[in-house]
Structure 1
Amino acid sequence: MNHRRLGASGLYVSEIAFGNWITHGAQVDNDTAHACVRAALDAGITTFDTADVYSDTKAEAVLSQALRGVRRESIELCTKVYHPTGAGPNDRGLSRKHIMEACHASLHRLQTDYIDVYYAHRFDPSVPLEETFLAFSDLVRQGKVLYVGVSEWTAEQITKGAALAREMKVPLISSQPQYSMLWRVIDAEVVPTCEREGIGQVVWSPLAQGILSGKYAPDQPIPQGSRASTAAGAPFFDRLVGQWMRKEVLFAVAQLSAVAQEIGLTLPQLAIAWVLQHPHVSSAIIGASKPEQVHENVKAAGVRLDPEVMNQIDQLLDGLIERDPAKTG
């Protein structure tokens, strides 16, 4: 497993990170979750990503249990704040009250004294940005947070946040956007903004919500047990169907599978390797519902794709790639 610096900071992260959105505390039992985390550790993954809102706060606790006995200094533990974690009006957002209380709750669930990277899970237009960064600044000064990140912020929002971070001496070092062969909305604005500000990308959904797993074939039923089948009827599933479960997309993905086979990779390995070719990407987050998926997907680490393969991917996906920066967030 290779490690890369996160932005212009001194923090190194594994180029493949393990995330537990959807899975821990929901789709898989705790024994399976622990086996997946152990597989990640065995593969050399040191960066673990979660959020307080995942599985209604259960995911943080499951991850903590799975990491029990691991030397804390040997891993990078990242979580997030913004989405509702309770019924009250202050149980959400980026107010000082919610950030401070949510951080303490995450520390308790994660059974740790500090968070390596604490993300603002979304931008909160209802709260003055100065209030948000003052709370982050205090957490950094207290040693409860080492670095700060943002997730799905636009270039304009990142620019404003970075200015406040400099003023308040807050180490804002990471952006966590969705990024894949099919979803490239950060390329036009977010990436150049982050490069100017010294912020690295830790990207989520390199498999485009599972479309690039190769599980979904054109004119075939949705496989039982797949993410699309287990999310049926949920807003997530509706977006997935509307965006990617189209015949032209699935035909293109089938052709990508052939490209992967020609160079000795699986389609998920090709998709993750594609993300990691980009110098602005510090780490790609993978999830897993069984340890075998971890073992297979980490083989994308260190793979170098020839320019001809990168061009072939672009040609096959021509007209299907989402590039509109307005869809950030």
Structure 2
Amino acid sequence: MRAAVLNSGRVFVRDDIAEPRPGAGQVLVRVKACGICGSDLHFARHGAEMLALGRQMSGLPFQADEVDLARDVHMGHEFAAEVLEVGPDTETDLSPGELVTSFPLLLAENGPAPIVYSNTVHGGYGERMLLSAPLVLPVPNGLPAHHAALTEPMAVGLHAVNLAAPTGEGAVVLGCGPVGLAVIAALRTRGVAPIVAADFSPARRRLAGRLGAHHVVDPAAETGWAAWRRVGGDRRLVVFEAVGVPGVLNDVLRHAPAGSQVVVVGVCMGDDVINPYFAVTKQLAVRFAFGYEPAEFAESLRAIADGDVDVAPLVTARVGLDDVPWAFDALGDPEEHCKIIVEP
């Protein structure tokens, strides 16, 4: 079958990928749509660094298999697909032709394998892939595949908001890339107000307003903090740091009102420096968010299918496999693209 793969830092399309075969508890699906995630772009450029940092960590719930960057790496974890075949000894109500999505994890005899970066587990940038039947969710309400594929990135924002559990506070969202936009959408569904969003990109600011931000500012003209003082005064709030650039977190600690929560959802890959005095003096609660829970993934799908979250504005292009290398380059310009959907 055909698939776009990463090999030695380059994305290209191969025509000779081995066909996946479903085993017990698995479902073979035909990929209908797969979003390109910012983490995929980052892995393509900085995969060796990310793997090195991963080797330094302990305490993870499970350790993914090591990835060889000199071999084909399969990616694509924001997907919707059509059921083709149910594996042997698999108890499921799924039937061929059904449109589904899934929590991106493949359950296997030797342990769970994330569907994210792998030399062996196929992802959504290929024509077909395997899913674990217990984790598969039917796509309801006739939701189109290219919208259902955005269940995964919207679940990231939902998880960050759930960790904060805002109770009447407003929110400031710094950075309106896909993760920041997902946070804004989740805040709106939770009834949080006011929501102040800040980003240097005019295109991202427009999307922030469409996703539910009440006040959207260009930090070059008015900082998010100045905008918050204008609309929220000095009362506490929840700050979502979705930039992931060194220095931003320390700036948040310096300017956030006393008693506020800070949720870091942007991934800063470099070393950063903070002054704890800011957080201690103002008794700030700081936590870091990553991924989502299966229940949040299901809730995200329901919110999109029911129309509570409109993901249509996020989709700026839909391409075939042959255009995946172009799409990886094109996503470097936030004025042109937010989410490019691959339709194998």
TM-score normalised per structure 1: 0.29
Which structure has the larger Rg? 2
TM-score normalised per structure 2: 0.28
Structure with the largest fraction of helix: 1
